[in-house]
Structure formats: structure tokens, C-alpha cells
Structure 1
Amino acid sequence: MAAGSVALATLLAVTLLPPVTAAQPVVCDAPVPSTTQPGYVVADPDCDLDGTPFTPVAGSTVRTGIERGAAYRIEVPRRWNGRLVLFAHGYRGDGPVLHVSNPQLRAHYLDRGYAWAASSYQLNGYEVGQGVRDSHALISLFRRVTGRTAQSVLMTGESMGGHITAVALEEFPRSFAGAMPVCGVLGDAALYDYFLDANVTAAALSGVNIAFETTPDEWRAQVRQIMTALGLSAGAPPALTPAGRTWSDVAERRTGGERPGFDASFAYWNTATSLEPYADLPFLFGLYPGLSGSADNVAGNRHTVYRITDAPHLTPAERRLNADVLRVSPSAHPSPGLGSIPRVDGRPRVPVLSLHGLGDLFVPFSMEQIYARRAAPTGLFVSRAIRATGHCDFTQPELRTAFDDLTRWIATGHRAAGDPILTPRAVAAPTFGCRFTSAPRAGFAACP
């Protein structure tokens, strides 16, 4: 990584790359069995899953392949600046097909002179440790397949890829010059605590007795009772009862505090149905950790205090809620190292600039605040709030501006601008998030 150790002649030699020759029609190959993970197949890295060929940008050089059970793509612009961006993709379920994909900022990286590389990882599922290993391995793979050494490396990732990014910075602190997680799970297992919180408070406010470990059929029957009590209807906008409105107040405080656009976002996420095989349930109810059947549960709420208001002391209603809610102790905890859900300490040694949507209730805004508290002593973390409802719902201008500001911060040492995400009064302001939001979204008032 030491830029000063790279001779000028070497840099000039690697900066100008030969253009890609006229491309022949690409015929997508069938997935091949993984050589490292039984039961998995690896999709052709020269094609997307829909059969669309991966086409190099004009003048760029592309390398693709399968390395130790993971597909990879590498693209280097003709006028390479000697820098490399590693892209970590998000959660893709537990299916058997592994595939590599492009970063949203692919064109911008190449236009700015950056090469990029991405891996499919050797596993699907929530496997952060594997994602870190396979992403970091791209650095040496890049050198081997291109014959060139990156002067510096940036790390970026979305959703679970944000968790991978944060862990990679701590596991390999000398490998990276900076990082840009977006919509990231920066609070590690706190994401699973949130899924637990949403469900156990909904049950308590509905007067429905639930257990932590339950079968899918039992859970569905209980959720139907909860839905009636709260005013929810799978796949349709909610008509919240008083108990439902209270649940909304609790959820707002557990996901980042009072903030613009929350009511519309809460309606959006309660209209959405959950992931398979729970697509017949409102979104959050298909994510209940007690449905996993795993002996290693990382979610817990033994010491969580649930709030309905921002009053300085618990109200009678809040005391009742905290007395009634099901309490769960985790059987496992995130730990240092590269497990499935490794701990994020929040101790980056390089600049980190992150974006997160205010209305994202899949990976909520509170994930950003958790990391901000942990990383505060370093002075190396900047967060930007985007007035968006969906998960990873960013515009190209928002992403491009953030990347350019990060690289400027790395080059000059002058900290990039961000939002005061740990100041409740600022977060609750009607205009919060306007500074870095480039386009209006439904559910948010127009910015001045």
C-alpha cells in the first residue's frame, strides 16, 4: 500500500493499459460446481444471472474467472490511476447459486481512473467472515491476473457488504486507504436485536403470548392475531389501531429516533411482504430470529428499555410495555475474527464515509448511529443521511459525490462533511437529510 515506495517509472508503466479488442459474442456457460463448498454452483462471471453478457466499458481491460470456489470480475480503465476499489455485495439469501455483480458506481470509478474488483464469495447466506476473506483476496488476485500492483485500495459495500467493509478495515488495517459502506449493517448483531425488538413489542402491545423458538405454522397463527390487533394487512397499507400507533412510536425510537419521513416509511415497510418463505406475512414478521431454529442465537433484549415517548422518565404505558415484553438472552455473541456475524469495534484507521436512508427499516438508520458512537474517538467516520424509504435507495449523484468527497479526504487529509446523526434535535428537524439528498422521494417533504 505504500505509495511512496512505488517508483515513478513503474507507475507510468502501469497507467496506460491496452484497450479491449473487438468483443466476440458471449455465450453464457452453465454454472459449475464449487470446488470448495459442496452443494454450491458458481455462475459464469462473464454473464449476469439474467443471461446478459458482462460488457467491458470502452477502452477498459477485464479479467474474470473462478478462484477457490468464488467468481470474480476485475476491470481496469485505460488510463489507470494506480488505485483499486473492492466492492462487497449484500445478502443474497441461502440459495445454491453464487454469482458476481457490478458496483453501482462502476462507470464513475472507471471515469475517475480507478480499477475495481468484486467477488461472489464462496458462500451465500449471512456469511460476513467469508465475504471479508474473499474480498481481501482480490488484492493479490488483482496483482496476479493483471501483472500490476495497486498503489492504494479502497473498500466499499452495500447492506451486508457494509458489514464486510467495516470488518475488513479492522482485520486488515494496513490494506486500505479508505472505505465507503452504504446502507450498511455497521452495528453487527444489533440488526438481529432490532428484528427481535420489532416482533416482541408488537406481540406485547397486541396481548399475544409468544415464545422465542417457534415453528413457522405456530408463528403464522400468532402473527395473524398480532396483525388484527395492530391494524396490519399483508401486502396492503396499514390502518393502524391505537396499539399499532404505539408500536410505530416504539419502532421509531428503536431505529434512530424521531426523524423526517418515518410515518410514511413505516407504512411502506408494513405494506411490503417478507422474504420467502414468509411472503404471506408483513415484512418484519418474516425476520423473527426465533424462526431460525439455530442453537446459536445472537439476538437479545434482556436489558433493552423500550420507549414510546421522549419523556425524561418512563411513562406508565412504557413501564407496562417493558414488563409485558418477551425477554430473550443471546446464546452466542459477535466475536473478533471472521465468523458469520463478526463484531464491529468501530476503530477504523483510515477515513470512512457512509450513506444511509432515514426510512430504511430493513437495515435501519440506528445501525449508522451505533457505528458513529463506537468510532467517535477516532474522528475518522462521517455519515450522510439520505431522505429515502427503501433499502439502499441512493441516486447516482448521491453516491458519486460521496465517493469524490471520500477520495478528496484521503488525498488532502481534510475531513469530509457529514450530518450530525447523534444529535437528536438535529435528526428530528424537518429538513434533516436535505444537505446530501439529491432527489425527492415519496413520503418526504420537499427540501427548501
Structure 2
Amino acid sequence: MRLPCLSLALSLLLSPAFAQDASTAISPPVEDTGTLAGAPYRIDIPADWNGELVVLAHGFEPVGVARETPWPADPATPMFTSERYAVAQSGYATQGWAVRDAIADSERLRAHFVQRHGQPTKTWMVGMSMGGGIAIASLEQQAAHYDGALSLCGANLPGEVLATELFTSLVAFDALFPPHEGEAGFRLSDPAAPVLDQNTVMDRVDAALPRDPAAAQRLATRLEVSVEALPGTLGLHYLVIRDLIARGGGMPVDNRLVRYTGFGDDDAFNRRVPRYVGDVAAMDYVAAAPALSGRPQKPLVLQYNADDPTINPRFRPVYAQKARDATVVPLTLPDAPGGHCRFSADQVKDAFRVLTGWVESGERPPLR
């Protein structure tokens, strides 16, 4: 990725005149909105600002969703401004699985904050869902600019792992519920098939499942969701894969030699699985969307939801396992009750206090 170079270039653009202490740089309160390199942004600074900045990374926004102008405050914004933190949030230059854009856009916004409002005494990165992975990638790639990061309900998977997992759900559906005769061009996994919107995909899945309830249960069990959640899960996976195909310019997964397990009769299942040749450039693209090294250099706190069908149990330990030998080992908090990103304001504040307390004390806190 180009981000380390981008970070350096932005830092060189900041003259010493702007590298002042934030407490002397503004006359709060402040609401700063606009566009940076095609990405809408918003900055909120409370009247009693404590001098610290939270950069918020939002989650997946389907392509084509209407956007508000100016960029609205994320629902999490008051959770931090009420605690006297300034909040900066980018809308990203593109929609969809905009991870690479989001990392660059968030860094550009952080630099803009410093230039316009002064250097914060501390800077934190916080993300939810897709934004959770963005927060981790930003901390890994731009550690000099951040004191720590919090990933909530995060899609904290290296890009190639995420693409493989999501694609597995699509080929599994196509193997278990093959198209009727004459509909071969409508496999969800087929990159050459017509692009469908999410509702159409969900309708197709919903209509297919009753054809074979036992297969539907096998698919749900393997994907760690309920049968009722399958249409929404597959619809989301389809959107992300299609977006990765568009961004990468080709097939982002090569499954010709993959042997799938856990869907019933493995031999029979693998004979039915559609096979595709991956495009090298597209696979290189997804490997950096995001590229997670598992080597955070600053404190990182992770928290998930116990009943999350989007970030399901097999996804949650992936990053922590990858980072188990890091110089700064991430802390994973106990799962909070509820579905995807269903955190209360107090739960978010508590998780954030774990992070800030870690940094202030210099000691990794024990699990409670």
C-alpha cells in the first residue's frame, strides 16, 4: 500500500507554525465540515475540550446509498464529546468496502485537524465494524500519530482471509442450492453473472432455503448463524465480494484447489462447488484491504458482541492470534451481549477507558 508514503508526505506538509499545542490553538466550540480529496469529513470540538482527539472510522456503507451534506455526526460522537474529546470522522472518498480509501482519508483528516486546530495532546483511533479493521490498520501503519486504538465489533481480518471467508459462503450456497436449469449465469459466486442488489440477493436466498431445510441448517451451522440470518449474511457477503471484484479488477479468490469441509458429505459437496481462477492483481489488492501484520506498536483494545452474525465466533480470535507475539499484545475484552455493534454508550465508554487507562498507566490491564 502507499499509506506509509502518504503519511510521510502529509507530515512534511505541516509547517512548524501548525505544530502547536491544541489547548492554545482553538476557540471552542467548533464544528468543522467539508471535503478532503473527495472525502466528506466532520470535526466536533466541545467547548471544554480536554486537548485529546478521537478519530472515528465508520463501518460498511453500500454503494449508492444517498449521503448527507454536510457529513453528519456518527451516533458514537456524543459518547466522546460528552467526555470532552474532540472527534474527527471521514466519510471516505468511496462507498462499499472502502478500506484502503478509509485509511488514507482518515490519515488525511488527522493531518488536517493538526493543521487547522493544533496538535492534540493525545490521539486515539476508534472504529466499529469495517471501521474496526481500519482502526487496527491505521495503528499498525501510522503508529507515530496515535497513542492507541479501540476496535469494536471489528472486521479484524487480513484482506485475503476476509475475501476467502466471504467467498466460501457464496460458493457453499451455490453448491447446496444450485440454480435451476437455465439459470447457471445466476450463481451468487460467479463474477460473470449480472450484478444484483442486496435485496434481490436476499430474496433469492430466502426463496431457495425451503427447497432443502437440512442443507439450509448445514449452511447456517457452518457459517455460525441462524437459518433466519442466512439471507442477510449472504446478502452482505455478496456486496463485499462484488465490491472487491470491482476495486481489484478481477476475481479476488482462487478456489480451484480448496477442499471445503463442514458442509455435510465433504466429497459430494466439493464435487458440486463452483471453481474459479483468481486474478493475481485482484488478489494482491484484497491482501491490502486491509493489510494487517499483527504487529501493533501501541496499545490496542478489541471488543465484540456475543450474538453477532456478521462478526461470528470464528472471526473474532483471528487478529488476536496473529498478534500474540507482538511487542504490544492486544487486549480482547469479554464479548458484550447483543447483535452486531449493539453496544450501549456506557459499554463504549468503558472499553475506551480501558484503552486510555492502559496508556496512562503504562501497564496492560488484566481482564475483568
**1:39 corresponds to which residue?**
none
1:199–1:284 Cα contact (<8 Å) kept: no
1:351–1:409 Cα contact (<8 Å) kept: yes
Does residue 197 (structure 1) correspond to residue 206 (structure 2)? The answer is no
Paired AA for residue 351 in structure 2: A
Cα offset, 1:359, TM superposition: 3.4
Does residue 283 (structure 1) correspond to residue 235 (structure 2)? The answer is yes
Select 1:216's aligned residue among 194, 200, 206: 194
**2:213 corresponds to which residue?**
241
Q: Work out the CA distance in 1 between the residues paired with 2:72 and 2:195.
A: 36
Cα offset, 1:149, TM superposition: 1.2
Question: What is the SS of the residue equivalent to 1:74?
Answer: strand
1:166–1:186 Cα contact (<8 Å) kept: yes
CA RMSD in angstroms comes to 3.6
Cα offset, 1:307, TM superposition: 3.5
Select 1:184's aligned residue among 143, 154, 177: 154
**2:105 corresponds to which residue?**
134
2:153–2:305 Cα contact (<8 Å) kept: yes
Q: Work out the CA distance in 2 between the residues paired with 1:74 and 1:225.
A: 41
- Unaligned stretches of 5+ residues in structure 1: 1-9, 20-59, 233-239, 253-261, 275-281, 310-315, 419-434, 436-448
Does residue 395 (structure 1) correspond to residue 344 (structure 2)? The answer is yes
**1:79 corresponds to which residue?**
48
**1:164 corresponds to which residue?**
134
Paired AA for residue 356 in structure 1: Y
Does residue 307 (structure 1) correspond to residue 307 (structure 2)? The answer is no
Q: Work out the CA distance in 1 between the residues paired with 2:254 and 2:309.
A: 19
Does residue 230 (structure 1) correspond to residue 196 (structure 2)? The answer is no
- Unaligned stretches of 5+ residues in structure 2: 1-19
Q: Structure 1, residues 166-198: CA drift from partner, whole Å, max 9, x if none?
A: 221222121111111222221124333233211
Q: Structure 1, residues 37-95: CA drift from partner, whole Å, max 9, x if none?
A: xxxxxxxxxxxxxxxxxxxxxxx333233333333222223333321110112222223
Q: Work out the CA distance in 2 between the residues paired with 1:86 and 1:177.
A: 11
2:79–2:345 Cα contact (<8 Å) kept: no
Paired AA for residue 206 in structure 1: F
**2:222 corresponds to which residue?**
250
Does residue 345 (structure 1) correspond to residue 293 (structure 2)? The answer is yes
Paired AA for residue 77 in structure 1: P
Between 214-223 and 100-109, the greater mean CA deviation after superposition = 214-223
Select 1:155's aligned residue among 125, 141, 146: 125
Aligned length: 332
| Structure 2 counterparts to residues 21-100 of structure 1, below 5 A | 60-95=29-64, 99=68, 100=71
Cα offset, 1:402, TM superposition: 0.5
Does residue 330 (structure 1) correspond to residue 278 (structure 2)? The answer is yes
1:87–1:116 Cα contact (<8 Å) kept: yes
Does residue 408 (structure 1) correspond to residue 368 (structure 2)? The answer is no
Paired AA for residue 106 in structure 2: S
Q: Structure 1, residues 241-260: CA drift from partner, whole Å, max 9, x if none?
A: 122222222222xxxxxxxx
Assess, with a 3 A threshold, how the Cα gap between structure 1 residues 222 and 393 changes in structure 2: closer, same or farther: closer
Assess, with a 3 A threshold, how the Cα gap between structure 1 residues 388 and 185 changes in structure 2: closer, same or farther: same
Q: Work out the CA distance in 1 between the residues paired with 2:203 and 2:126.
A: 40
Paired AA for residue 138 in structure 1: L
Q: Structure 1, residues 315-373: CA drift from partner, whole Å, max 9, x if none?
A: x8233323432233432224699x6x242222111111122234333344433322122
**1:143 corresponds to which residue?**
114
| Higher relative contact order, chain-length normalized (CA < 8 Å, sep 6+) | 2
Q: Work out the CA distance in 2 between the residues paired with 1:222 and 1:183.
A: 24
Cα offset, 1:101, TM superposition: 3.4
1:98–1:122 Cα contact (<8 Å) kept: no
Q: What is the TM-score of this pair, normalised by structure 1?
A: 0.63
Q: Structure 1, residues 6-62: CA drift from partner, whole Å, max 9, x if none?
A: xxxx86x8179655xxxxxxxxxxxxxxxxxxxxxxxxxxxxxxxxxxxxxxxx333
Does residue 366 (structure 1) correspond to residue 337 (structure 2)? The answer is no
**2:9 corresponds to which residue?**
none
> What is the percent sequence identity of the aligned residues?
25
Q: Structure 1, residues 385-410: CA drift from partner, whole Å, max 9, x if none?
A: 23323x32222222111111111111
1:179–1:351 Cα contact (<8 Å) kept: yes
Select 1:382's aligned residue among 326, 331, 342: 331
Q: Work out the CA distance in 2 between the residues paired with 1:144 and 1:416.
A: 34
